[in-house]
Each structure stands twice: as structure tokens, then as C-alpha cells.
Structure 1
């Protein structure tokens, strides 16, 4: 369990996280809010990239103020919005192997972790490709594989579907669902309300550095999203016009609407 207790954080004396309390476990949690609301700033505290100005964060009981990024990365993996910024090795295999190698893992286990991670994201056979030759969706999945090879319990994915075509987006969604089934906690930082509707088990909404909502997906979509610069998914707008109530997929909608 990740536990956030009265977190405050300031940049150059300006407070951008203001007394946030939060728990996050084995679930798919969507962290949403307008630009500048503090989403990424909050998430960067979970693996020690940032340290609290006040308050604390406990990752399975580990106080992030007392542990290094390397130590916390064994628990929390962070996939950044632009995966290319994570790559610097010549081949996909070496890219995925880099993290475990830095942990001092044996060569045999490194190979096992690389093969397992690439299989988990559907990139078997890509080992000798250069990361920069991959498509946008493949790069996103490679970034997830690099984090998975570290064997973290929790994963944070920052805008994981931004810029992807529909096919690539669906493949990333499949990977996220697979991670959840395998017992990982997955936090999605996203503006994509369709992704929230499709995947999230819980939603946390930040605004102005404060938590203003924390609850079920259905309750979240009852809020005035325009107030927070967010858009209602077209599926829910259609369901409302048809009197179908809350639905999470087109298949669910068609099953409720009688010809």
C-alpha cells in the first residue's frame, strides 16, 4: 500500500501540493485534473523523484524521505509521458536489461527478466531492434517493459496513450489489464476520459494542488467535468440520450438499448 499523509510540496516557495491524503494499492487508479493541478508532481513523490516539503509518503511502510530513488524504484516504477526520453541503449534487449543490471542481478536472471518483460508487453522478437526504430505504441510498451524488468509492485503511467493510434492504444490497454491481473497496482495520470471510463477502478481528481474527489468511476462522471477542463466521454453522452444509464463499454450500451 502507498499511503500519502498530509502531503505538501513547494517549488521555489510556491506551494503546488496542498495537504493531500491518499492511499493506493492493488488497483487501477486514474489520477486526473486540469493542467497545473499537481498530478505529475504528486506522482513523482512515490518513487522519491521529489521529497515532501511537509507530510510524508509510505511505500509498503518505507518512508520516501529516508530512502533513495534506487531503493524506491524496486517498489514503484514510473513510465514517463515521452518514453523516448528513457532510452539510451543500442538494442531493445540492452534497454530492458539496464535496470536489473544496475540492481546487481545475475546475468541469468537478467535474461529471464528481459524475456519475461518483453513477452508481457507483446514485444517478443524485438530484442535486437534499436529502440528508436519502433513505432509510438511499441516505444510505449518498451518503456513499460523496462520498468517491469525491475519487478516493481506499483506502476505509474503518465499519459500512456497520448499520441497513439487506435490499434496501439488498444494494445497498451491490454498490457495494463494484464498487469492488474498479475497483482500490480497501476496509476494512470491522464486527460483521456475514455481511458478512465474503460480501465479505472477508482478516480482521484486534483485541482489547484488539492484532492477534490476520490471515489468510484461512476460517481466521478456525475461531476461537472467542464469545471475542471475535462470532457465527458462520447459513450456516456450517447448513453444519457438513450436513457441507458451508466455504461463502461459500447457492448454494454447495446445490450441495454432495445431495438
Structure 2
């Protein structure tokens, strides 16, 4: 297991318990979405993976090493963290310098550093804005710069905090392909998200946090199927799931591919949709 968390408990200085006896493991190459309502402990959990927060009790292992014995700089060699607000992360005078910072700080050889930077710029659609100042870009572009900076560090684990917020459709499509490609390359992706369409399309597993504890951990499709009656309390179900229910379909359809397959010949009778005004 690349990530192993056992009985993690965290309390804020005022005594509020944010995480209570949280335990789970994540294998190399898994794509895991961490979901839940605001205040459930999602971002607090993610910050533990890079050492920004330290547990009151319990243990965290990253690639077989106890995180409590590692500095933030040491953890950064294994876990790349993309903040929800890119302005908390960006500091360099150009996109290229921002993306170069991580691999340079990790003392990668020059040839490898150049290759990683060019790949990260290309994969995030930023090759044409390499000389721009990051703070002159739009929010969506700045988020992609922060992502490129993490990709260039070539960490086996990538953590994304609300990656689709502020992104247009084209950027979300690009981001989804990146998540799929990272998983195919054997890299582990954990994403904190309220975007159920993005979750359904690109993640294998979901962990639901409620009141600082795990109330569900399993395959995304199974979770969406059983959550249909209660999910609206904290988040909105995927568009395809909602459309399927409006059409009277039984079972759970959560992705565009699944929806198209449901309409395919041999999949059963097509729904009858009224065209009346």
C-alpha cells in the first residue's frame, strides 16, 4: 500500500475534533475521491498527507515510512499536493519558473528536470503561456499552473483539493484525462471534491467522510446506487444519474458512457420522452 492511515485523530486548538479514528489504505494506481459535506474533515485529512497538519493520535504511512518522522520537504518527494486556492501555492515570476521550482528543489538532474517541466506544461495546456506571470492568468489557468508544478515533481501520490472549482468545461475534460493517465501510469490520485460528475467519470473508489469519520468506503458506482435517496442532503448526484431517474430508469447510471450504453440496441426499451411544451 502506498498510503496507510490507522486510527487518525486530529483536534483543533479549541478542542474541536476534526478527524476521529479514521483508518484506510490506498494502493498504488488507485484513484480515490474523498467526499462529504463542508466541515466533514476532508481538507484536514489531505493536509495530514503532506505534513501540514500532524495527528493527535494514530499513524500515517506513506510508501512504507511513518509520516510523523518526516519533514514537509521529505514528504514532498512522495506526495504532491494541489491546493484548492492556487494563490496559496504560486510564488514565481513566470509559469515556467513556477513549474521548475519543485524538481529544482528536489535536485533532479538538469535533463530530467527539463523533460518533466515540458511534459507538465504540455499536459496541462500551458505551453503557450510559459512566460506569463501566474498572477496575470485566470483562476482556472492558475489552478492548472499549480497542478503542473506538482506533476513536474513526479511524485507517486498526487492529492487534489477541489480540482474542478473555477474550471471551464475544456479544463475539466483535460483534468479528467490527466487523472485517468496518472492512474494508468501507476500513480495514486486522491481528490477532495464536491463534483459528483467528475467523481463518477474518473474515480474507482469513494470515501465518504461525515462528522470526522468514514461512513462509506467502496466502489463509486455502488456508493452512488445506494446514496441516491440521501445524497442530495450534502451534494448533487451526477447529471446522468439525475437524468436517468427523470426518465424512469431503474438502477444507477452515473457516467456519459453508461448512459449511451443504456440507449444502445439490445439494452432494453428506450425511454419515452414527451416533447409537449
- TM-score clears 0.5: yes
- Contact 1:77–1:152 (CA<8 Å) still a contact in 2? yes
CA distance in 1, matches of 2:256, 2:197: 11
Aligned position for 1:38:
41
* Residues 1:132 and 2:135 are matched in the alignment: yes
Residue 104 of structure 2 is aligned with which of 92, 101, 104?
A: 101
Tell me, in whole angstroms, the C-alpha distance in 1 between the residues paired with 2:199 and 2:108: 36
Shift of 1:213: 0.5
Matched-pair contact (CA < 8 Å) for 1:137–1:169 = no
Superposed CA RMSD in Å reads: 1.7
Counterpart of 1:141?
A: 144
1: distance between equivalents of 2:46 and 2:88? Answer: 18
Q: How many residues align?
A: 258
Instruction: Give the counterpart of 2:254 among 234, 248, 251.
Output: 248
Q: Is the 8 A contact 2:238 2:254 kept in 1?
A: no
CA distance in 1, matches of 2:235, 2:105: 40
Aligned to 2:121: 118
With structure 2 as the length reference, what TM-score do the two structures score?
A: 0.87
State the 4+ residue runs in structure 1 displaced beyond 4 angstroms. none
Q: In structure 2, what is the Cα distance between the partners aligned to 1:255 and 1:61?
A: 41
Partner of 1:6: 7
Residue 45 of structure 1 and its aligned partner are, at CA, apart by 0.8
Distance (Å, rounded) in 2 between the aligned partners of 1:188 and 1:24:
12
Q: Specify the alignment match of 1:18 in structure 2.
A: 20
Distance 1:119 1:254 in 2: 31
Given the superposition, is the C-alpha separation of residues 21 and 251 from structure 1 closer, same or farther in structure 2, using an over 3 Å criterion?
A: closer
SS in 1 for 2:19: strand
Matches within 5 A, 1:143-222: 143-221=146-224, 222=226
Structure label with greater radius of gyration: 2
Could you say if the C-alpha distance between residues 102 and 207 of structure 1 is closer, same or farther in structure 2, counting changes exceeding 3 Å?
same
Q: Counterpart of 2:238?
A: 233
Among 75, 80, 100, the alignment partner of 1:77 is 80
Contact 1:7 1:19 in 2 (8 A): yes
Contact 2:83–2:161 (8 Å) recurs in 1: yes
Partners of 1:57 and 1:47 lie apart in 2 by 10
For structure 1, list consecutive stretches of 5 or more residues without a partner in the other structure: none
Unpaired segments ≥5 residues, structure 2 = 264-268, 271-277
Shifted more, 25-34 versus 132-141: the winner is 132-141
Distance 1:164 1:121 in 2: 12
Instruction: State the TM-score, normalizing by the size of structure 1.
Output: 0.93
CA distance in 2, matches of 1:181, 1:120: 15
Aligned 8 A contact 1:4 1:58 in 2: yes
